[in-house]
Amino acid sequence: MSILTIMKGQMDSLTAAEREIAKFVLASPDEMIHLSSAELAEQTGRSQSSVVKFCQKLGCRGYQDFKVAVTKAASQTWQVPAGVIHGTIGSDDPFATILQKLLGSKIHAMQQTLSVNNEKTLRAALDAIRTARRIQLVGVGASSLVAQDFAYKLQKIGYMVLFDADSHIQIANAATLEKGDLCIALSYSGDTLESRRIAETALKKNATVISVTGVQPNRLADLSEIQLYIVADEHQARSSAIFTRDAQLALADLMFILLIQSDSRANGLIHAAEDAVSTLKT
């Protein structure tokens, strides 16, 4: 996971001094990598020791280690296509600008989400899905819609899946899980009470838990064996989980495609499901 992504995800948990340093680095990473720790401290109005402690808080050994991480992250930063704007949607923005910003922010959220999850962790999640006896999809609110979509996709290719939008039924279903079963819990904050309680119930029944959360420290990720992450800046759209939903869907679709790719039966099962549904249209 890139140091810039980690910084964005942990912004709310930083102190005021650390937040000022983070804002400067995120706004001007190419400038920051040419500064000494003393110069960065001067630019941000903080002490040199505050800069070093900030670097260590993000998991770096010191300032030089932090500069290397920022240099690497900046060189890999994905650019929104020309003509598309990634930025905050303002109340006075004209219609065309809103369209461009919305598209740019959606693309940015999906691309960042796909880049933040390494192949090793994705493979572990896919192996857990393939070998699970039963799979429960968990989500509340907007995350429930993505959980439902992923549940239907998995059912199409032959997996035994449990899903219900009602959180009371979700936790009751979790209580029936056993060793060999899998619980996939989606929550951008990772602190939604219902999702955490359901995941905790699944763990008590010895089921495996996969979390899909934002990159910020959160309790749902802490209790899960496998952690997947999404990146979404909801402040960009004054939104109702618009970019969170897109990021979650992108990650779920990636896993679905990878499952199909490795399962010779999958395409046949999908066609069989489509044929069955077609009989209801005549």
Number of separate helices (H) and strands (E) present in the chain: 14, 5
Single out the residue of 50, 63, 80 nearest to residue 3, CA to CA.
Answer: 63
Query: How distant, in Å, are the alpha carbons of 66, 109, 231, 244 from that of 213?
Result: 25, 13, 9, 10
Give me the tens of pLDDT residue by residue for the chain, a chain 282 residues long.
788 888 887 887 889 889 999 999 988 888 999 999 999 999 999 999 999 999 999 989 999 999 988 988 877 655 545 454 545 677 788 888 878 877 877 787 787 788 788 889 999 999 999 999 999 999 999 899 999 999 999 999 999 999 999 999 999 999 999 999 999 999 999 999 999 999 999 999 999 999 999 988 899 999 999 999 998 765 544 456 788 888 899 999 999 999 999 888 888 998 898 889 889 987
Question: Where are the domains positioned within the chain?
Answer: 3-76, 108-279
Query: How distant, in Å, are the alpha carbons of 114, 122, 147, 152, 186 from that of 8?
Result: 16, 22, 25, 32, 20
Amino acid code (one letter) for 192: T
> Class of 3-76 per CATH?
mainly alpha
Amino acid code (one letter) for 168: H
Instruction: State the number of CA atoms in the 13 A half-sphere of 134 facing the CB.
Output: 15
Tokens of 65: 């280690």
Q: Is 195:143 a contact under the CB 8 Å cutoff?
A: yes
Non-local CB neighbours of 152 within 8 Å, separated by 6+ positions: none
67-89: b (≥16 Cβ within 10 Å) or e: bebbbebbeeeeebeeebbbeeb
Q: What pLDDT, on a 0 to 100 scale, did the predictor assign at position 36? A: 92
Q: What pLDDT, on a 0 to 100 scale, did the predictor assign at position 153? A: 95
End-to-end CA, the chain: 50
> What DSSP line would sit under 150-162, residue for residue?
HHHHHHHTT--EE
Alpha carbon 87 to its chain centroid, in Å, reads: 19
Q: What pLDDT, on a 0 to 100 scale, did the predictor assign at position 95? A: 83
The CATH code that applies to domain 108-279 is: 3.40.50.10490
Q: What does DSSP say about strands 135-139 and 161-162: parallel, antiparallel, or unpaired?
A: parallel
* Sign of the four-CA dihedral 88, 90, 93, 96: positive
Query: How distant, in Å, are the alpha carbons of 55, 79, 208 from that of 177?
Result: 42, 43, 10
